[in-house]
Amino acid sequence: AKKDTSAIFSVGKFLVKISSKAHANICQASYIPPKPGPIIDLTTGAKIHEHSGLWNYTIGQGARIPGLKEKTFVVRKDVEKNTIYIVSGRDNPLLRTRRIHVDKFSFIWTDTPPKEVYDASGYRAFVKVLHKMQPAQCTVFGSRGTDSVTIDFDEPLVGIAPGQVAVLYDTEGEWCLGCGAITDSIPLETQDVDCGP
């Protein structure tokens, strides 16, 4: 894990040392007003807690909810409902993504993307989504006449969410072919819960 940096601040007559992450949270709270909303257990539909803003949570990371016996993780964020959905356990299949969709994928060579992209069997490639991740093997399926692609991971990945950028590499993992923002991610298993309006 990356070592956190710290800063020293003067509070009255005292010097206070806090981490850079805590400093960022303090600064953020100064500019962004709280927007409370529910935290829902996706497997049961029960309200577990309340959050102060969606921006405080990242899909795939720990939810840090006090009072729970088992560690929980953020699996989904619903902007329209201002709701965070969580699941228990790091190995929960709902945290692992098997497929992503990119509506506007930009190939570097727009006139000659790999022809196999449009084959029924797809194009074998490597993809990176998270900054420090190793390129993951995948199969890419394109749709003629559109910029959309579907990427199936050989092994499901954790922490993948809409808005992140998928960067595609060739079959050897050496040449970058293009990229695009993820518009949808499909978990290893799906879970639909009626959580009310």
For 45-67, how does the pLDDT look when each residue is reduced to its tens digit (9 = 90+)?
Answer: 999 999 988 888 888 888 888 88
17-42: average pLDDT: 69
Write the pLDDT tens digit of every residue in 65-116.
888 888 999 988 888 999 999 998 888 888 889 999 999 999 998 777 899 9
How many Å apart are CA 85 and CA 160, to the nearest integer? 15
Question: Nearest CA to 6 among 16, 28, 56?
Answer: 16
Using alpha carbons, list the distances in angstroms from residue 184 to 96, 99, 102, 133: 13, 9, 7, 20
pLDDT at position 196:
47
Give the model's confidence band at 186: pLDDT under 50 very low, under 70 low, under 90 confident, else very high: confident
CB 141 within 8 A of CB 127: no
Confidence at residue 142, expressed as pLDDT on a 0 to 100 scale? 94
Residue 93, C-beta contacts closer than 8 angstroms, at least 6 positions apart: 156, 187, 188, 189
Place of tokens 């939810």: 63
pTM: 0.71
Would you state the structure tokens that stand for residue 116, as one six-digit string? 């196999």
DSSP labels, 167-181: EEE-TTS-SEEEEEE
Give the whole-angstrom CA distance, residue 26 versus residue 22: 6
Structure tokens at 168: 């595609």
What residues have CB less than 8 Å from 172, skipping those under 6 apart? none
